[in-house]
Structure 1
Amino acid sequence: MNILITGGSGLIGQALIKRLQADRIIVLTRNPEKSANVLPNNIEVTSSLDEVDFNNLDVVVNLAGEAIVDKRWSSTQKNIICQSRWQITQNLVDKIHAATTPPHSFISGSAIGFYGRQGASAIDEAHQDIHDEFSHQVCQKWEAIAQQANSDKTRVCLIRTGIVLASNGGALSKMLPAFKFGLGGPIANGQQFMSWIHIDDMVAVLLAAIEQPALSGVINATAPTPVSNQGFSETLSTVLSRPCMFRVPAFVLRILLGESADLILYGQNVLPRKLLDNHFKFQYPSLQKALTQLLLKS
């Protein structure tokens, strides 16, 4: 199997590459030298799609995109977030269309931000009552571009990823310092839902999308047991044997993050219905098990 991956040097991309069984793996990156330093020696690295023959690819996995919450959402930053997803996806679609024998599968990233802010009611891939805000607008166009690759030759999967928990980066690494010092706690009223997934299960979802032709279209990549922010904070404190006494007021978060604070102050109770209906088995279905493995493993 020959696979092209964008975003291969990121948190999810690196974890996926470690698990892939492929004859050839090509990583498209803006910084080949930096990527080569963090990827295995057998990985081919390129900065140009023109160097890739799409007639000889079996699968394209599209994970590229500017981090959405690392910087305040100025107009410039919003444009960077959008174009870092939309442009590369359009370029990939164009290459797939131009191929005589295109890849049989196009696995393209998205996020549960597609749904916009939601209440506590559980939602799945069929949910249509979308809250129209920036996160939705980014994902809606991102998915629409990717879906253009769908044909009788190419299957498209749109992976709406939740909060990925890993020991070496991502959201958890940003939370840990405060909790380890006993200064952690819920944000605002703590009732907003957090739809999370362990990094190992995230990789397993991508592998399932690659390997199982029965999977197509929108797929929620979240654990089957979302929790409230209050519940997440209490579980994390318990696993670390630290108190959960402090609460971060909403106005403090808004001062620090501006509009992007909405991603943290509001949430979604997202269920992976399509995965469950296809008998996908989560290795870490509960938050306590996931956090214990990530933080207390030897």
Structure 2
Amino acid sequence: MSARRIAITGASGLIGGALSAFLSARGDDVLHLVRRETRTAAEITWDPVHRTLDPASLEGIDAVVHLAGAGVADKRWTPAYKQLILSSRADGTATVAKSVASHGSSIRLVSGSAVGFYGSDRGDEVLTEESPGGEGFLADVVRAWEAATQVASAAGASVAMSRTGLVMAQGAGAFGPLVSLGRLGLAGPLGSGRQYWPWISLDDTVRALVHLVDHRDITGPVNVVGPEALPQREVVHEIGSQLGRPTLLPAPAFALRAVLGEFATEVLGSQRVRAAVLEQTGFTYRHGTLSEAVATIV
């Protein structure tokens, strides 16, 4: 496959940084969208707040991977921060999609999304891309987030939305604090521990995004999760097992709500998400078992 020119938003983030390194290593020409004046030829200036991105700056680009947005778990969910979570995704996506649309069908768009689409608690229901959306703040955010890509689709662009699950990354994301507690023997089930967690390793997250970049025929929502969501207590047990530490100390639901506020509803929820589209289009996992994925973070 010949080298491609690929632009990335959110390249300074966990997933974006790893994706940028992967694409560069395989020989692609990678450009970063930045919210300041450009410093190198590998940067493109944009302003998602004011919805400005010069369409001419995407001339010659083969694909845009849009990952920018305020971190869902970075701060307590005050009304102001909830508005930032929503606006940073809707405004940023609308900005990118509009510029992509101006190029018709020439640019492939892979837009970030999340399994939050399915709602905070779906029990043991198996959820595929065909499943209906759920209820709650994050579900509403994802609906607005994905809807913002429609201007690009309407213009003929090939668009996929990567509904990403819980990414296992060393020292970062949802699993960073969990591993730190595990080393102290303080990790344990959150709430009942029976809720399903749609885990995936960082490496496989990046490889899934590359799979979407390379397969323009894959359109619409795509669940970017591991091959099998598992109960949270099994995930924690595996972390403790590989660390050689006990995982018996539970975190009561009321305590999580006191510490995390409204976000605790998402942590305590259950999403048994299946990566049906990835499976059907030939994607293979590097870390296809929980044990393999946990080994990357401990």
Whether TM exceeds 0.5 here: the answer is yes
2:297 maps to which residue? 294
- Write out the 4+ residue segments of structure 1 that deviate beyond 6 Å after TM superposition: none
Query: Structure 1 residue 146: deviation in Å?
Result: 1.1
Q: CA deviation digits over 1:63-85, x for unaligned, max 9?
A: 00101122121110110000111
State, as a whole percentage, how many aligned pairs show the same letter: 32
1:7 corresponds, among 6, 10, 27, to 10
The reply on whether 1:122 has 2:126 as its aligned counterpart is yes
Distance 2:64 2:265 in 1: 32
- Listed as ranges, the matches of 1:135-154 within 5 Å are 135-151=138-154, 153-154=156-157
Q: TM-score, normalised by structure 1?
A: 0.90
Distance 1:52 1:163 in 2: 35
2:33 corresponds, among 28, 36, 56, to 28
Unpaired runs of 5+ residues, structure 2, are 48-52
1:170 maps to which residue? 173
Distance 1:168 1:42, change over 3 A: farther
Distance 1:32 1:229, change over 3 A: farther
Distance 1:82 1:181, change over 3 A: same
Distance 1:70 1:32, change over 3 A: farther
The reply on whether 1:95 has 2:99 as its aligned counterpart is yes
1:56 corresponds, among 31, 54, 60, to 60
Confirm or deny: 8 A CA contact 1:194 1:228 kept in the other structure. yes
Confirm or deny: 8 A CA contact 2:162 2:221 kept in the other structure. yes
Confirm or deny: 8 A CA contact 2:158 2:219 kept in the other structure. yes
SS at match of 1:294: coil
Query: Structure 1 residue 247: deviation in Å?
Result: 0.3
Q: CA deviation digits over 1:47-72, x for unaligned, max 9?
A: 55338522321111100010112212
Confirm or deny: 8 A CA contact 1:58 1:105 kept in the other structure. yes
SS at match of 2:246: coil
2:261 maps to which residue? 258
Matching residue's letter, 1:200:
D
2:273 corresponds, among 270, 274, 280, to 270
The reply on whether 1:76 has 2:69 as its aligned counterpart is no
1:181 maps to which residue? 184
Q: TM-score, normalised by structure 2?
A: 0.90
Distance 2:138 2:263 in 1: 9
1:86 maps to which residue? 90
Query: Structure 1 residue 188: deviation in Å?
Result: 0.9
Distance 1:207 1:273 in 2: 17
Distance 1:91 1:121 in 2: 35
1:44 maps to which residue? 43
Distance 1:199 1:221 in 2: 11
1:282 corresponds, among 285, 288, 294, to 285
Q: CA deviation digits over 1:261-288, x for unaligned, max 9?
A: 1110102000000110112111111111
**Worse-matched range after superposition: 283-292 or 6-15:** 283-292
Unpaired runs of 5+ residues, structure 1, are none
SS at match of 2:8: strand
Confirm or deny: 8 A CA contact 1:26 1:44 kept in the other structure. yes
Distance 2:5 2:68 in 1: 19
1:159 maps to which residue? 162
Distance 1:16 1:143 in 2: 21
The reply on whether 1:228 has 2:231 as its aligned counterpart is yes
2:246 corresponds, among 243, 247, 252, to 243
